[in-house]
Amino acid sequence: MAGDLFITVIGNVTEDPEMRFTPGGKSVTTISIAQNTRIFDRQTGGWKDGDVVFMRCVIWEAMAENAVETLHRGMRVIAYGKLKQRTYDTPEGEKRWVNELLVDSIGPDLRYAVAKVAKLDRRAVDPSDSGSVPPSSPQSGTDDAPAEDRELVGVGGQEEPPF
C-alpha cells in the first residue's frame, strides 16, 4: 500500500517466542530482534560492538505457530514486514509510542546456520492470515490429479503465439 514503510531486520532473537491468543481466538507471538553494529577500531586493529537496536516484531496466525516451533533465543534471523508506530496509555496515564514490525516473512539467517525445512501442506494453511502483504492467487494445477489429466491453461495447439 502506498505510504507504508517495509523494512528488513537482520539480528538475533532475544527471547524464546511464546504463543498467545486474542479474545477472538487468533494466534499471535511477539519477539524482539537485536541488531548489533560492528565497528572497526583502528587503534586496536580489531572489531568491537557498536550500538544495538531492538525491534519488536509481531507475528500472526500460522506464521506465529511456526515461529514458536522454529525460533529460539540467540538465533540469527532475517525478518521482513511493515513498520508501524502505535500509541498506548500507561496505567499512570502517560502516553507512550512503540515501533513494531508487522512480520510478513521471517526465518533463520543461513549465513551462520544450516536449517532443515519441513514444508507444510499448502491447503492446510490459510493464505489470508500472513501479514500485511495480500495473499497471492492460488496456483493452477495444484490438485492431486495426474499431470496428463490436467488442463493446460494458456497452452494452445500448434499455432504461433500472437506476439
- Whether residue 91 is contained in a domain is answered as yes
118 occurs within a structural domain? no
Which of 16, 26, 34 minimizes the C-alpha distance to 63?
26
CA distance 72 to 66: 12
The three cell numbers of residue 108 are 533463520
**CATH code of 39's domain:** 2.40.50.140
Would 130 be classed as within a structural domain?
no
Residue 140 belongs to a domain: no
Report if residue 48 sits inside a domain: yes
Which residues, 6 or more positions from 148, have their beta carbon under 8 angstroms from its beta carbon?
A: none
**Cα–Cα distance, 78 to 109 (Å, whole number):** 6
Structural domain contains residue 150: no
Confirm if 60 and 27 have CB atoms less than 8 A apart.
yes
pLDDT on residue 1: 62
In a domain, 52, yes or no: yes
Q: How many domains does the chain have?
A: 1
Specify if 1 maps to a domain. Answer: no
Give the pLDDT band (50/70/90) at residue 127.
low
For 101-126, the pLDDT digits (tens) are 999 999 999 998 898 888 877 655 55
